Structure 1
Amino acid sequence: MKKLFFIPLLVLLILNGCKSNVENEDIFQYKDTYVGSGGTVGNIILRLPNPSGENTNGLELKTTEKPYGIIINYINSDTTDEINKNYEEIALYNASFLFALVKNVDWVTFNFVEQEYTVTRQELQNWYGKDLREFSDENELSQFIQKYLEDENKAKQFLN
């Protein structure tokens, strides 16, 4: 009987260890990915933040004709935490990383539970005044994005 309890516990420990390793891996190992590489794009999205109280619920890759895009769907999570919807910040942050890492993605749509945003590479890079593909370090890109997100009104204006 103890063996039957031990096996599921071992599986849970291994899976939890794998998730921790995924979160600790350098996201820039996926630099120059193509939007058609579903597994790699999925790995990038797993490393990006979700809005409070929501989880990623799949993605769609639009690769049959240009402009190429990614649609990311979200659902409510099973959490009792207070939900703080920071959609604008998450959309800009995650889109910035996707445009920095995925070579040929032209737009990203975020289907959050209560809001939808579509961000294009051209509009975001014009807003920043910089080609996001020039970044090669997660910390450098995060710091760059945070400078722009410090002004909440600027972020909301961009997305409206």
Structure 2
Amino acid sequence: MRKVIAFLYISLSVLFLLSGCNSNDADANENIFKFKDSFVGDNSAVGNIANQLPGSKHLNGFELKTNEEPYGIILNYDWTDSPEEYRETVIYNATFLFTLVQNVEWITFNSDISEYTITKDNLQEWYGKEFSNVQNEDELREIVLEFSEDENKVKQLLK
């Protein structure tokens, strides 16, 4: 009996020690700009970016379209929540992907709610600024929040 208790004690100690070594999601999100200047053909970079963006728990997979220009990304979501939240996620994620992946020209977002295809040119025109000048996540987040709060502008982009 004493051996069993000792074994359980040691096992629990090891479990607590290992659980303290897990990375924090907040730390991972702070590093999203380390993927700046990635390319559509870099499956690992695009996947890491997509998995750090809002709605990633609904992400069912993605496709990289690199056979011919213009290059694109297709993101598939199993989204059944609010359509408004989905539209906000589409704008936010498109903005981040266009900023971080330098040669992507279009992104299609598929879900049970709706399908949206956004081009880099249309989104930059909508914002009135070029993404290549943005150098950190906070600056980009401020830009997204400023524009995505205006429902008329959102409808204009996501026709």
TM-score range, shorter chain: 0.7 to 0.9
Which blocks of at least 5 consecutive residues in structure 1 are unaligned? Answer: 78-82
- Where do 1:3-152 residues align within 5 Å? 13=19, 17-18=22-23, 20=25, 23-50=28-55, 55-76=58-79, 83-85=81-83, 86-152=85-151
Which blocks of at least 5 consecutive residues in structure 2 are unaligned? Answer: 1-6
Higher helix fraction (1 or 2) = 2
User: 1:74-116: CA deviations, max 9, x gaps?
Assistant: 1258xxxxx3332221111110100000000000011122111
User: What amino acid maps onto 2:133 in structure 1?
Assistant: E
User: 1:31-54: CA deviations, max 9, x gaps?
Assistant: 000000000110000111018xx6
Residue 22 of structure 1 deviates from its aligned partner by 5.8
Contact 1:99 1:121 in 2 (8 A): yes
Give structure 1 regions of 4+ aligned residues with deviation exceeding 6 angstroms: none
- Cα RMSD (Å): 2.7
Equivalent pairs counted in the alignment come to 152
What is the TM-score when the length of structure 1 is the normalising length?
0.82
Give the share of equivalent positions with the same residue, in percent: 45
CA distance in 1, matches of 2:146, 2:78: 29
